[in-house]
Chain A
Amino acid sequence: MSEIDPNKAPMSPEEQRAYQARQKQRAVIMAGLLMFMVVLFYLITIVKIGSSS
C-alpha cells in the first residue's frame, strides 16, 4: 500500500480517465433507475386513485 494519501495526491491522466468512466457508468445507471421509479410511482398513483374512487 502506498504511503501517500491517494485521495490527496494529484491524479494522473490515466487515473482521471478511469475515475470519470466509472462516474459516468454510475450516473447512467442511476438515471435509468430514477426513470424506472418515476414510471413505477406514476402507475402506483393511478392504481391507488382508481381503487379509491
Chain B
Amino acid sequence: MVKLLAPAGSIEMARAAVDEGADIIYVGPLGFSRRPYESEMSDDAIREAAAYARGRGAELRVVLNTFPTPYDFGRFVDKAVRYAADGASGFIVTDIGLLRTLRREIPDTVLHVSIGSGISNLADAAFYRDAGADVIILPYRWDVAEIEAVRRASDIGLETFLFETVQTGKLCPGKCIMSSYLRFRDWKEIEGSRDFHGSANRGAKECYRVCQANWEFGAAGAAPVELKLRRDARLMLAQLPGFVAAGVTCFKLSGRERPVGMIRDLVRFYRRAIDEVVAGAQNLDHHAAELAELRGRWVREKTKRVDTLMDRAASYAK
C-alpha cells in the first residue's frame, strides 16, 4: 500500500488535503514542530482535524520533531499521549529518547523518524528500527539504488519527500544550526509558556533559511563570488515509479506554510500520479505541463517565504 502524506498547516488545509485524497495528513502543535506559529495548530484544531480525517477514512500524524529541552521532555510525552487519545494514529519525531519513550508509552502508535534526524546511510535506518521506529524518511539526496540498499538492510518503512534527488549541499535539516547562531527571537505568547531557550531545532525561533539567502564566498584576500549555500529542491514526478518499485511506501508532500490552494492542487495532482503508478504506469510524461505549472508556483512561493523570513531575521536581536 503506497500512501500520500500531506501537510496540514491549518484546519482549512487539513480539510483540503483530505478532500483531495491524502491518505494521511500531518499537523504540528504550536511550538513543537519546527515551523512558525502561523503553520502550526492549537490542540483544539488538531482534535478537529483528526476527527475530520478519521471521518473520511484518512489518518492524522502529529509532528513532534523539535528536539526537546531536557526540562521539557515530559511535556512532549504528555502531549503525545493526549493526541493519541484524541485520534492521532502516529507521530513524526526526531529525538531518539522521545522515540523510545513513545514506543513504550503508546505501543500501538506509528512512529516516523523525521528528516531532522539527519540519517545518511542504511546502518542509520537499522539503528532507528532497533530504537523502535516504524518508518524513516530518506534523505532527498538518495536515488533508487540507495533506496534498494536500505530496503535490503532493514524492514523499516520507507518514506520520501516528493522532491527530486539533489546529491550535494549542506545537510539540512538534521545537521545545521546556522540560523540560531546568527539570529534569535523569544517565544511568542501564542506558542505557549516555555522555560527554555529555543531555536529552529527546538520549536519557536523559526529557521530563517539563511542558507537560501545570498552570501559572498571566497578565500581570504581573493575576490568573492556571490552564491546561496543550498540548492532548491524541485518537485518530482518521473522518479515515482522507480521509488515505488524500490520499496517506498509513503510519499510526503512538504508545505505546511504554503497557501491552502496550492496544497489542494498538489495533493490532487500527486493523488492521481500515485494511483497511476500503483496501477502499473511507468511513464508519467503526460503530466509534464501540469508539473511545470506547479513547480513554477512552488518556486514563486518559496522565494516570497525566504524574503519574509530574512526580513524577520533582520528585526531580531543578535
Interaction A to B: no
